[in-house]
């Protein structure tokens, strides 16, 4: 089968494409190589994927470029492209989030409507829940984003439902919870903790470090994503993708120190606007519909990321 993956050269995109290729599928990877972080990292991901005979790269800005030809020739599209990050989504950067999360997603959905693609998987975020009313948070919990980033991801979801209800677009939405692992973006917490600890630098910690996150190892997230694109998933499904590895930031720093072999020297800064106190997702629905279960415990996942990030070889 043939799959189109947007945001293919990103952190999660690399792993999703790798999983599809490992299963013997053909993959068209679409990426515009935006400069939110070092473009060279994305180019390296694209080059690595490009070594696979079944992979074809397309450089395209989906917020303005035409997608119809690629979608018409595919079995499904996995839409991972978007503008990440909570803290930069305020003020003058908000328009970037609107364009890359809302406008770009609408164009994917519209192209899917025109071409009749058989499956659309959209990547959303636990940020849509904000400070949730219950933990573990189910897909039926109220959505009340705590950041502009979360607002744009929820708007993307609402667009998906509108296209599903009005046009029958066969969409599945996945809400990722704190994905980490090898080849993580350099702006993300786990990557920073490892790099700064290894270099003996101060590690910036926002707040008291007792914030709780539900950490999801990236190959687990990729497996759930591919299952949503390849399994018999009811159209309109909304699924949490969580690792079941809830931990405080302080505990993560402890695990990082153990695996790097150096003490973490932390520097405390005030809590940041938009950062929620706790995340934790119920995955009962994903278990039932996808037959999916996260396989990598947090301690093992951090060890694997340390090995890759500090020069080891994980393939």
pLDDT tens digits for range 38-72: 999 999 999 999 999 999 999 999 999 999 999 99
Q: Given a cut of 80, is residue 314 above it in pLDDT?
A: no
**Residue scoring higher pLDDT (312 or 189):** 189
Mean pLDDT of 167-194: 97
Q: Given a cut of 80, is residue 187 above it in pLDDT?
A: yes
* Res 244: pLDDT: 87
189-198 and 249-260 helices cross at what angle (nearest 10)? 40
3 is catalytic: no
CATH number for the domain running over 2-177+218-242+279-294: 3.40.50.720
Q: Long-range contacts of range 148-151, CB-CB < 8 Å, 24 or more positions apart?
A: 148/89, 148/90, 148/94, 148/97, 148/274, 149/83, 149/84, 149/85, 149/86, 149/89, 149/97, 149/101, 149/125, 149/274, 150/86, 150/125, 150/274
Q: Given a cut of 80, is residue 265 above it in pLDDT?
A: yes
Which residue's structure tokens are 């993560």? 252
Q: Given a cut of 70, is residue 313 above it in pLDDT?
A: no
Which residue's structure tokens are 């699924």? 239
Which residue's structure tokens are 């190959």? 219
Q: How far apart are CA 4 and CA 67, in angstroms?
A: 10
For residue range 80-89, list pLDDT tens digits in order: 999 999 988 9
175 HSE (CA, 13 A, CB side): 28
Q: How far apart are CA 210 and CA 246, in angstroms?
A: 11
* Res 75: pLDDT: 95
Residues in contact with 79: Cβ distance below 8 Å, sequence separation at least 6, in sequence order: 6, 7, 105, 108, 120, 121, 122, 123
Catalytic residue among 3, 149, 176, 217: 149
Give 315's pLDDT tier (boundaries 50, 70, 90): very low
* Burial label, 64 (beta-carbon count in 10 A; 0-12, 13-18, 19+): exposed
Q: Given a cut of 60, is residue 202 above it in pLDDT?
A: yes
Q: Say whether the peptide bond before residue 136 is cis (omega within 30 degrees of 0).
A: yes
Distance of CA 198 to the CA centre of its chain: 25
pTM score of the predicted model: 0.96
Give 92's pLDDT tier (boundaries 50, 70, 90): confident
| Contact of 8 with 80, CB cutoff 8 Å | yes
């Amino acid at each position: 089968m043939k799959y189109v993956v947007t945001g293919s050269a990103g952190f999660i995109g690399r792993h999703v494409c790798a999983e599809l290729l490992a299963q013997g599928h053909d993959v068209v990877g679409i990426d515009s190589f935006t400069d939110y972080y070092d473009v060279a990292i994305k180019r390296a991901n694209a080059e690595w994927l490009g070594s696979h005979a079944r992979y074809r790269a397309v450089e395209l800005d989906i917020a303005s470029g035409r997608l119809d030809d690629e979608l018409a020739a595919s079995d499904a599209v996995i839409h991972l492209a978007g503008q990440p990050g909570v803290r930069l989504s305020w003020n003058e950067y908000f328009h970037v989030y609107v364009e890359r999360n809302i406008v770009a997603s609408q164009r994917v959905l519209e192209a899917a409507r025109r071409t009749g693609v058989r499956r659309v998987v959209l990547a959303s975020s636990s940020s849509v829940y904000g400070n949730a009313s219950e933990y573990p948070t189910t897909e039926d919990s109220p959505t009340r984003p705590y950041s502009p980033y979360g607002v744009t991801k929820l708007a993307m979801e609402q667009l998906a439902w509108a296209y599903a209800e009005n046009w029958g677009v066969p969409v599945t939405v996945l809400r990722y919870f704190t994905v980490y692992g090898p080849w993580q973006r350099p702006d993300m917490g786990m990557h920073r903790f490892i790099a700064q600890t290894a270099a003996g630098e101060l590690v910036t910690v926002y707040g008291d470090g007792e914030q709780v996150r539900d950490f999801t190892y990236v190959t687990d997230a990729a497996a759930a994503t591919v299952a949503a694109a390849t399994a018999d998933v009811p159209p309109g499904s909304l699924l949490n993708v969580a690792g079941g590895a809830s931990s405080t930031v302080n505990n993560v720093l402890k695990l990082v120190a153990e695996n790097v072999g150096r003490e973490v020297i932390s520097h405390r800064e005030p809590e940041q606007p938009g950062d929620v106190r706790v995340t934790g997702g119920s995955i009962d629905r994903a278990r039932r519909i996808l037959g999916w279960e996260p396989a990598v415990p947090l301690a093992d996942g951090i060890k694997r990321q340390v090995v890759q990030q500090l020069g080891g070889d994980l393939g």
